[in-house]
Amino acid sequence: QRHSPPLCSLPSRTQRVAAFVAEVARRTAQLVAGWQTVGFVHGVLNTDNMAITGDTIDYGPFGFVDQFDPDYSPNDSDAAGRYSYRQQPAVSAWNLRRLATALAPLGSEGGAAEAAAEAEAAFWVEYEPEVRRRWRSKLGLLLTDEGEADDALLESLLGVMQRTGADFTNTFRALSRVGWEASEAASYRAPQDFDAVLEYCLAQCASTEAMLKRARPIFHPKALARLAAIAQTEPERLAQFGLDASVVARETQRAARREALARVTPRDKRLSDAEAW
């Protein structure tokens, strides 16, 4: 009655419960799409830290992505990376499944499992086009939608940002240095028109020292070596530590990147960054 008055007019409780969960999924999808496209990381996305209103609550160990790293989490106790920037959409969808499961006894024709699946599906149906719309807006892709080409452009940009240690917010602000025209014909820009953007992006890329600090593995090298051995021989044991093989693989790759970065001079990094951009 307070948050979704129109739903009260539906004739049956089963319909009201289903419509309520779908509405919460829609609001949550809109919220998380906003998080992802401004680089906000909640940090502790437990089920009790999400609201049916689609608002951000319990700010706890929140943070914003600076040097772009999709595995960034402001929660120092989140060794598994469950609440990282990359995982926020999936964790939010999982939380909606729990809500639907809890409400299923009030009115679900197909049972808890079906209600949970429908809640997750409702989230992704809303989230995927919304987050794509927001990304395209940030990139200034407002006139024509080139489908997979636009998606590939974003994926490539985020990859370069990660490799060069670019600042999330400043990179997108840099695009405002190029004017936008109201017609497709007038919006063409020669490559040299982006020189100012390029120089700005290169100037705010992280130093080798800063990237080394960010690439520091969560685990001590000896502990990581032991976990890697367990992952190879007895992967099921990782659950005892709240981990899985993907976490060990991620941290092993992080350690390898750190080792490679340690051999890079500031001059070499500048040249590499310029080539990447």
| 70 alpha-carbon distance from chain centroid | 6
pLDDT, tens digit, for every residue of 46-57?
A: 999 999 999 988
Nearest by Cα to 43 from 18, 78, 11: 78
> Which residues, in sequence order, are CB contacts of 202 under 8 Å at separation 6+?
270, 273, 274, 277
pLDDT score, position 187: 66
pLDDT score, position 260: 86
pLDDT score, position 107: 72
User: Would the pLDDT of 162 be above 70?
Assistant: yes
Q: Give the confidence band of 183 by pLDDT, cuts at 50, 70, 90.
A: low
Q: 92-96, 206-210, 218-222 — which is least confidently predicted?
A: 218-222
Helix, strand counts (H, E) of the chain? 10, 2
pLDDT score, position 251: 83
pLDDT score, position 144: 79
The pLDDT of 145-154, averaged and rounded, is 90
225 CB-side CA count, 13 A: 3
Nearest by Cα to 21 from 145, 133, 118, 124: 118
pLDDT score, position 184: 66
pLDDT score, position 186: 67
User: Would the pLDDT of 113 be above 80?
Assistant: yes
The pLDDT of 226-233, averaged and rounded, is 88
Question: Could you say which of 48, 66, 76, 273 is catalytic?
Answer: 48
pLDDT score, position 29: 97
Q: How far is CA 240 from CA 88, 235, 243, in A?
A: 23, 10, 7
User: Would the pLDDT of 129 be above 80?
Assistant: yes
How far is it, in rounded angstroms, from Cα 233 to Cα 8?
55
pLDDT score, position 38: 96
Does 55 participate in catalysis according to the annotation? no
Decide if 214 contacts 163 (C-beta within 8 A). no
Decide if 165 contacts 68 (C-beta within 8 A). yes
pTM: 0.83
Q: Give the confidence band of 182 by pLDDT, cuts at 50, 70, 90.
A: low
Q: 4-8, 123-127, 161-165, 264-268 — which is least confidently predicted?
A: 4-8
Average pLDDT, the chain: 88
pLDDT score, position 155: 95
pLDDT score, position 101: 93
Decide if 99 contacts 117 (C-beta within 8 A). no
Strand partners, 32: none
User: Would the pLDDT of 31 be above 90?
Assistant: yes
User: Strands (DSSP E) along the chain, which ranges?
Assistant: 40-41, 63-64
